[in-house]
Chain A
């Protein structure tokens, strides 16, 4: 009896091992690359390492992991009319993408919150759509409470095997309850720890984009700026498509930087730098999504010909296809040379483009913070510097269309701010929302959304 069990176990183990090898295409790929493989010898310098992960392809929708969605709709007075109608239509339309294993809840808020549809399996779609159709707009904007209740509904069926997401639609400024971007961002960050993301859909020019972006970014959700209510159906569908194509969740990346090299900052995602350790978590990786972060490091002066280990990376994630926790690891090193030509030649253009995009995104955030503070001169100056930075790098690596795109966007931004005299100018608002959405897109490495920018 005992012997038999042993044999069975042995077979099972073999099976698992073989299965693992067979499923190589169902693995997230990890890629760790420095901007330059060869660095100039003998000088202290700053360089960047790109840590990229790539989601595998989800074969068909049958394979997709079940989702647990909370749709949180702003039904405050400003949503009256077409906006709420489009939101209702968009939400109902998108719900048709869900299957009977998915869970959905609908929460509306104005001055108070109403859990319109408590978390329920999507077996009775009629009840849900009927409830959504009954929504009418009125009152104030208790956004924080809406998200709180949405998260609470998600938590009822919180499950590692599901994609858990709150989809928040708002067109206004949160004016009931906590309403600072910091507080919403902090809430988002704690939700990320629980594997709940919040996607924020900002409608029109009136919403507080900083707040909505923080909430989405800190929780690993999407943020979208929707200029016209008519786009709502598309936006909802796109959001649902995203949610339905998650292949990996709770992607914990740990980067160990060898002693002597100083990690300066991490771009592309919220990260903790604990001495030589960098830890960060990606909420999820979508099907075939390329996602990367960039670590800026300070390399000490090193002599010619020597090699230096730059980073050891390990990635833990939940594979949504197998529902297992998988681990990846990788590392990278640089050489040192005295030849400038060799150093120039070792430039990885693709990595450079990623790095430049993220760095310029940080730069444009700084420009916007000047605008928020009302300092238009320094805002313009920062924008200009960012433009120059982008142009230099476009010259360095002209084949990347993305850098060209960013450079063009920067020029548009500069034009947008022409003639703007105060930060309350409507044009400034258009710029601000555009910039945040763009930055957000760059940080989250989303495909640029056509029509999002004027």
Chain B
């Protein structure tokens, strides 16, 4: 197989394959993106479900605390008792209608819990910090469309200065209850409060360790996988089922520390979550995160990729098969043609020998007839001339065929002899003279190449013969053939002009291709269509070329030959 055909076949196979692969890769990657998006939505839905559980948990706590703080009248020991028995409660507090802290009362003797509480929350009841916190809380509530309103009244007064009542700007306290977040002990603390009909505010600070523990108790645990080997390789819908592979869910606090996590997937440090959402009120600053193995994400797109790959391979195989079939047809065609050409060559060789003999004996006969009386020899002489000219024609044809074959085999080399071109040209033209005369074509010779030069006479004969033969065959209607020759710096230039129908410019290249004819019609002049091709090939072998030029008078055509 030739390298060119290998490249051709590869191109035939690879080009469409590459295009197809590119297109389907894009399709697959968008498919993968869509899958991942769906997957992300799915996981976010799960997070929202979990978040719903957390919200319900806090709603329950809120209800419980609402009951607990439904206190209108109290004595301190009663509140202390309540704190002692209520598991969730860290500390209760009561603020009077006028904004005065009634319990825990900083002017009275406090127990250690009350004291610690006041130390931790002093600013909450007194300072500027509270104002900021309240405003923050307001903003947050508005953003989340919650009812939670700022809770405890604010004031610039110090805790110790009990006489100055806490001031509560009325406009802010339309709400009756809400959550409040306050930071102490390096952590977030939750405070629930409600305003009683008397205007008194009763609040409760929840024990942080406890509500976190309760939250954890509400969240799922990590179930031990019954069989960890059965993961992956399912259908896409199976892969999208979050239960069919390992995940890790995580609850993180405002400082992004893990509070609780579950799910068998082990996350290495510093890995970003696949998706996350903020936790339900009042834990806005906490986040619920979901982690998914990297392979899982790739897996969601993998089946599409496998399909794509299979498709590409199938297409490639089909293309290869097609290319192979085409190549086989083409190769057998080529073989056939080669066989035919070689057959024609052999036949031509075989024909050449008897034809040479025929021409030899015809020429001998011509000499014999010359010695006879003119009246006796006249008629046979005429017939003999026909035999001779037809024999020459046949020789040329066979010569053309053989030359063509040699050209194809690239075994043609000029055998130069030192000769005068004009003499050769005259001989050749003379050989055509009877045929041209019979067609009434006038021959003009303007020869100017009288210096001997190294030249292959066979080449020149064949080139010029083919050109003259073309005039005879195709341009007889012009009734004129002009042959010119010139020499300059060792280059012989010949030109053969006719006054025939000419060749359209668009066909100028085409006429030099083998077997090309200007018309395929049967009635068109006879010829093999290889003459010009051979002539140009020979001229090029001889260091020159053949070109067509526009005739000076715009009729017919002119072939210009150079040789050196």
Cβ of B116 to closest chain A Cβ, rounded Å:
11
Q: Which of B112, B258, B262 contacts A113 (CB 8 A)?
A: B262
Q: Which residues of A contact B217 (CB under 8 A)?
A: 148-149, 151-152, 155
B216 and A111 within 8 A (CB): no
CB within 8 Å of A: which of B235-259? 248, 258-259
Cβ of A137 within 8 Å of any chain B Cβ, yes or no, is no
CB within 8 Å of B: which of A285-344? none
Cβ of A48 within 8 Å of any chain B Cβ, yes or no, is no
Cβ of B482 within 8 Å of any chain A Cβ, yes or no, is no
B88 and A190 within 8 A (CB): yes
Q: Which residues of A contact B263 (CB under 8 A)?
A: 112
Cβ of A194 within 8 Å of any chain B Cβ, yes or no, is yes
Name which of B194-202, B219-227, B427-435 contacts chain A: B219-227
A274 and B111 within 8 A (CB): yes
A149 and B221 within 8 A (CB): yes
CB within 8 Å of A: which of B191-216? 207-210, 212-214, 216
Q: Which of B87, B208, B214, B262 contacts A193 (CB 8 A)?
A: B87
Cβ of A165 to closest chain B Cβ, rounded Å:
16
Cβ of B109 within 8 Å of any chain A Cβ, yes or no, is yes
B77 and A277 within 8 A (CB): yes
Cβ of A297 to closest chain B Cβ, rounded Å:
15
Cα-based distance from A128 to B208 in the complex (angstroms): 33
Known: A145-B260, A148-B217. A186 touches B210 (CB 8 A): yes
Cβ of A153 to closest chain B Cβ, rounded Å:
9
* Chain A residue at minimal CB-CB distance from B185: A182
Q: Which residues of B contact A155 (CB under 8 A)?
A: 217
Cβ of A218 to closest chain B Cβ, rounded Å:
10
Cβ of A273 within 8 Å of any chain B Cβ, yes or no, is yes
Q: Which residues of B contact A272 (CB under 8 A)?
A: 80, 84, 111-113
Cβ of B285 within 8 Å of any chain A Cβ, yes or no, is no
A259-291 interface code vs B (CB 8 A; 1 in, 0 out): 000000000000011110101010000000000
Cβ of B329 to closest chain A Cβ, rounded Å:
67
Q: Which residues of B contact A191 (CB under 8 A)?
A: 87
Cβ of A177 within 8 Å of any chain B Cβ, yes or no, is yes
Cβ of A187 within 8 Å of any chain B Cβ, yes or no, is yes
Q: Which residues of B contact A116 (CB under 8 A)?
A: 224
Cβ of B120 to closest chain A Cβ, rounded Å:
12
Interface residue tally for chain B (C-beta within 8 Å)? 38
* Chain A residue at minimal CB-CB distance from B262: A112
Known: A178-B212, A279-B84. A186 touches B207 (CB 8 A): yes
Cβ of B86 within 8 Å of any chain A Cβ, yes or no, is yes
Cβ of A62 to closest chain B Cβ, rounded Å:
32
Q: Which of A142, A277, A279 contacts B260 (CB 8 A)?
A: A142
Cβ of A431 within 8 Å of any chain B Cβ, yes or no, is no
Cβ of A390 within 8 Å of any chain B Cβ, yes or no, is no
A160-195 interface code vs B (CB 8 A; 1 in, 0 out): 000000000000000011101011111101110110
B216 and A144 within 8 A (CB): yes
Q: Which of A115, A144, A194, A274 contacts B212 (CB 8 A)?
A: A144
Cα-based distance from A277 to B222 in the complex (angstroms): 46
Q: Which residues of A contact B222 (CB under 8 A)?
A: 112-114
Cβ of A108 to closest chain B Cβ, rounded Å:
9
Cβ of A434 within 8 Å of any chain B Cβ, yes or no, is no
Q: Which of A145, A183, A194 contacts B216 (CB 8 A)?
A: A145
Cβ of A139 within 8 Å of any chain B Cβ, yes or no, is yes
Q: Which of A149, A151, A176 contacts B258 (CB 8 A)?
A: A176
B81-93 interface code vs A (CB 8 A; 1 in, 0 out): 0001111101000
Known: A116-B224, A151-B217, A274-B80. A187 touches B209 (CB 8 A): yes
Q: Which of A112, A147, A182 contacts B261 (CB 8 A)?
A: A112
B261 and A183 within 8 A (CB): no
CB within 8 Å of B: which of A336-354? none
Cβ of B528 within 8 Å of any chain A Cβ, yes or no, is no
Cβ of A169 to closest chain B Cβ, rounded Å:
18
Q: Which residues of A contact B187 (CB under 8 A)?
A: 178, 183
* Chain A residue at minimal CB-CB distance from B111: A272
Cβ of A27 to closest chain B Cβ, rounded Å:
24
Cβ of B266 within 8 Å of any chain A Cβ, yes or no, is yes
Cβ of B372 to closest chain A Cβ, rounded Å:
127
A190 and B212 within 8 A (CB): no
Q: Which residues of B contact A148 (CB under 8 A)?
A: 212-214, 216-217, 260
A186 and B86 within 8 A (CB): no
* Chain A residue at minimal CB-CB distance from B251: A177
Q: Which residues of A contact B86 (CB under 8 A)?
A: 193
Cβ of B260 to closest chain A Cβ, rounded Å:
5
Cβ of A175 to closest chain B Cβ, rounded Å:
9
B259 and A178 within 8 A (CB): yes
* Chain B residue at minimal CB-CB distance from A118: B221
A190 and B210 within 8 A (CB): yes
Cα-based distance from A116 to B224 in the complex (angstroms): 8
Residue among B86, B187, B213, B223 with the highest chain A CB neighbour number at 10 A = B213
B111 and A176 within 8 A (CB): no
Cα-based distance from A58 to B112 in the complex (angstroms): 37
Cα-based distance from A134 to B224 in the complex (angstroms): 10
B208 and A186 within 8 A (CB): yes
A176 and B224 within 8 A (CB): no
Cα-based distance from A139 to B112 in the complex (angstroms): 39
* Chain A residue at minimal CB-CB distance from B210: A190
Cβ of A110 to closest chain B Cβ, rounded Å:
9
Cβ of A147 to closest chain B Cβ, rounded Å:
7
B223 and A114 within 8 A (CB): yes
Known: A190-B207, A190-B210. A115 touches B221 (CB 8 A): yes
Cα-based distance from A180 to B259 in the complex (angstroms): 12
Cα-based distance from A139 to B209 in the complex (angstroms): 23
Q: Which of B76, B87, B111, B259 contacts A273 (CB 8 A)?
A: B111
Cβ of B75 to closest chain A Cβ, rounded Å:
12
B156-200 interface code vs A (CB 8 A; 1 in, 0 out): 000000000000000000000000000001110000000000000
Residue among B112, B207, B222 with the highest chain A CB neighbour number at 10 A = B222
Residue among A116, A144, A185 with the highest chain B CB neighbour number at 10 A = A144
* Chain B residue at minimal CB-CB distance from A270: B112
Q: Which residues of B contact A185 (CB under 8 A)?
A: 209
Q: Which residues of A contact B214 (CB under 8 A)?
A: 148, 152
Cα-based distance from A184 to B88 in the complex (angstroms): 14
Q: Which residues of A contact B264 (CB under 8 A)?
A: 112
A182-215 interface code vs B (CB 8 A; 1 in, 0 out): 1111110111011000000000000000000000
Cα-based distance from A113 to B222 in the complex (angstroms): 6
Cβ of A129 to closest chain B Cβ, rounded Å:
16
Cβ of B484 to closest chain A Cβ, rounded Å:
103
Cβ of A207 to closest chain B Cβ, rounded Å:
19
CB within 8 Å of A: which of B251-301? 258-264, 266
B261 and A142 within 8 A (CB): yes
B128-151 interface code vs A (CB 8 A; 1 in, 0 out): 000000000000000000000000
Cα-based distance from A184 to B248 in the complex (angstroms): 25
Cα-based distance from A142 to B111 in the complex (angstroms): 33
Residue among A107, A112, A185 with the highest chain B CB neighbour number at 10 A = A112
A111 and B111 within 8 A (CB): no
* Chain B residue at minimal CB-CB distance from A116: B224
Q: Which of A111, A114, A147, A182 contacts B224 (CB 8 A)?
A: A114
Cα-based distance from A193 to B87 in the complex (angstroms): 5
Q: Which residues of B contact A274 (CB under 8 A)?
A: 76-77, 80, 109, 111
Cβ of A249 to closest chain B Cβ, rounded Å:
14
- Extra inter-chain contacts (12) besides given A187-B207, A187-B210, CB under 8 Å: A113-B262, A115-B221, A139-B266, A142-B261, A152-B217, A155-B217, A176-B261, A177-B216, A183-B208, A183-B212, A272-B113, A273-B111
In the A-B complex, the 7 residue pairs with the smallest Cβ-Cβ separation, listed nearest first, are A152-B217, A187-B209, A148-B213, A186-B209, A148-B216, A112-B222, A190-B210
9 contacts between A and B (CB under 8 A): A114-B222, A114-B223, A145-B216, A151-B217, A152-B214, A184-B209, A187-B213, A274-B80, A274-B109
Which residues from chain B sit less than 8 Å from chain A, CB to CB? 76-77, 80, 84-88, 90, 109, 111-113, 185-187, 207-210, 212-214, 216-217, 221-224, 248, 258-264, 266
